[in-house]
Structure formats: C-alpha cells, structure tokens
Amino acid sequence: MARGTVLVSLIIVIGSIGAFSPVASAQGIYPEINITCDEPNEEMEVYPGATRTVVVNCLLENPTIHQEEVEVAAQSSSFSAAVPQSISIPPGSETNFQVVFRGEEGQASGQYPVNITAKVVQANGVDVGLITSEEIVEMTIEIAAFVTCQQNLGQGGGTMEAGEVIVFSTSISCTSNEVSSAKFRIVMISNSGDSSWPSGFVDQSATCSIQIQAGASSNNCQFQILTPSNLDESWEGCIVVLDEELGVPNSCPSIRIDIKIEPKTIGLGTLELTGNNSIFGDYEEEAPIIIGGVAVVLVLAIVVVVVRRRRRSFDD
C-alpha cells in the first residue's frame, strides 16, 4: 500500500511539471535537497552576562525542477536551537538560513556535537516526504573556559605615618566552568598614574590563591605592606588587588583602598613639634614663628641670668 502511494506521488510530481521537456532533462526529476553549513568561527561564551549563543550559517540548494518545501531541524542534547522550520525554494535555486544554538550559564567547557537536517516534504505542492531522505550536517560547538572573580575589600587605608604597616583583607569569590586556580597580588598606583612599586615599601603579604572548582569558590586573603621609615615626601595613591594574569591599570579603579603616607614628624621624645598630634595643634602652620619666639625668650632669659651673676660678683 505504501509503495503504491509513493509511486502515485512521484507520477503526480513529474507529470505536473512535464518531466520529459528539455528543461526537465537538464535538472533533476527526483525531489532532493543539498545542505551545507559552515563550522562556527567562534566559541560559545557562557560566563555570567554572556549571550551564550553561537550562530551557524547554512545553505540550501535545490538541484531539481520542482518548487520544493524543505523542512529544517537542529538536534542537540546540550543546547537549545532556533531554526526556521520550513523553507520554500524555487527550482534550481539556493537560499541561506541560520541556526542559533544557545547554552546554559556556566555550562562545562568542551566540544559538543550538533546535527542540522533538511528534508524535502513537498514538491510542487504534493507531499513527497515518503520518497525523500533526510540530509544531515554534523559539526561540533566548543564552549570556552572562563573564570570570573569578584572581591570585597575590607577596611583599611587612610592617612598614615612613614614606618607604619598597612594591613587590610579582601574576600574573593570566583565562578568558573572548569577546575582551575587563580593567584592575586597587590599593586600600588600613585595619583600621578605610576604603577611601579614605590621604593622602600615592602610587601609582606602571604600568597593569595584560590583553588577553583567548577561552579563557585571563595577565599579570604590578608595583605600587609611595610612603609619606609625614612620617607622623604608624602606618597598618595591607592592599593589594588589584581589577578596575577591581568595587566596593571593606568589609574586607580573603583575597587581600591586609598592611602596617604606622610614623612615622620619631627619630635623631642614623645613630644611632637609638628604633625597632627603636635603641641601646636591647629596652629601648626605658625609653628616656626612660635618656635622662634620661644627661642628669643630663652636667649633673653639666659642673658639676664648672666648679667645678674656678674653684678653680684662685682658687688662682692
């Protein structure tokens, strides 16, 4: 019964277009379709915020004398796919179409097989699905590996005196689609944009590293910098925690610790003559005048004492 139906359908298709005409002899009589697809020219990115898509460009070619209706599909156990379900192609023509594959956020990295199929279901308006075969294109889509990390800096920074120790901590959380690791370092960037390590500053921090599993991982790291006690002039800028594989920015980013290191104040013992905790308090700018005045008074007092002693010696 099925064989009879197939034969009748083929006879109707051929008869409807005049199979024995000169045009028909130059083209195919039997309904068929040719499909070719380009391999994706990029990997699929699945990090948080990525589009998670790959576009495949395909071409359908109708080598026959029939007006064909072609059913297109995409098969994948790993991705969802958007594809035109039906495409109409005139005799001896070709047409382009696209298939969009979409993955899941954080999907494991690697290569995944996919299939794109095409089948002629109608020729000149007659159903021919029983006498046509499915054409298949096989390819692979690769998901790129990724690691993204975020950090939450703790308290620290501000204005400090030379010789003090800068201490702060940060919580680092990483997301990845494969097992990997990451190391972090601290960088000091001056307000002028100089990112070279300042002379005399010593990084005393322990190694900050994270062993990242597929999914999410986190770690808390503490950093410590010894400032030079003989600093000649103030150093002002920021401290940044960076992945060791990343370059250093030219200026302070938004996530940073602002710091200012001032030279040591001049003092007598524990009594400071200059600085925020000096004996002059809010009158630090007038300190030279005050110190000069005190010195003059002391000199005059010494002179008076000397003069009195001499008078006494003459009276005696």
pLDDT tens digits, 135-149: 999 999 999 999 999
pLDDT at 265: 77
CB under 8 Å to 273, separation ≥6 — which residues? Answer: 265, 266, 267, 279, 280, 287, 291
| Helix (H), strand (E), coil (C) string for 1-66 | CHHHHHHHHHHHHHHHHCCCCHHHHHCECCCCCEEEECCCCCCECCCCCCCCEEEEEEEEECCECC
Give the C-alpha separation, 171 to 141, whole Å. Answer: 35
Of the given ranges (29-33, 213-217, 311-315), which has the lowest mean pLDDT?
311-315
Residue 117 has pLDDT above 50, yes or no: yes
Give the C-alpha separation, 278 to 288, whole Å. Answer: 13
Task: Please indicate whether residue 57 or residue 272 has the higher confidence score (pLDDT).
Answer: 57
Give the C-alpha separation, 217 to 214, whole Å. Answer: 8
pLDDT at 305: 61
Mean pLDDT of the chain: 84
C-alpha 104, offset from chain centre: 18
pLDDT at 215: 84
Task: Please indicate whether residue 315 or residue 101 has the higher confidence score (pLDDT).
Answer: 101
pLDDT at 23: 46
C-alpha 37, offset from chain centre: 31
Residue 17 has pLDDT above 50, yes or no: no
C-alpha dihedral over 290, 291, 293, 296, to 10 degrees?
180
Give the C-alpha separation, 307 to 184, whole Å. Answer: 72
The one-character DSSP state at 109 is P
Give the C-alpha separation, 191 to 201, whole Å. Answer: 16
**Considering only the top CATH level, what class is 147-264?**
mainly beta
Count Cα atoms within 13 angstroms, Cβ side, for 151: 27
Average of per-residue pLDDT across 247-269? 84
pLDDT at 303: 62
- 302 pLDDT band, cuts 50/70/90, is confident
* Residue ranges of the chain that CATH labels 2.60.40.10: 2-143, 147-264
CATH number for the domain formed by residue range(s) 2-143: 2.60.40.10
Residue 26 has pLDDT above 70, yes or no: no
- 111 pLDDT band, cuts 50/70/90, is very high
The pTM of this model reads: 0.67
Residue 279 has pLDDT above 80, yes or no: no
Residue 312 has pLDDT above 90, yes or no: no
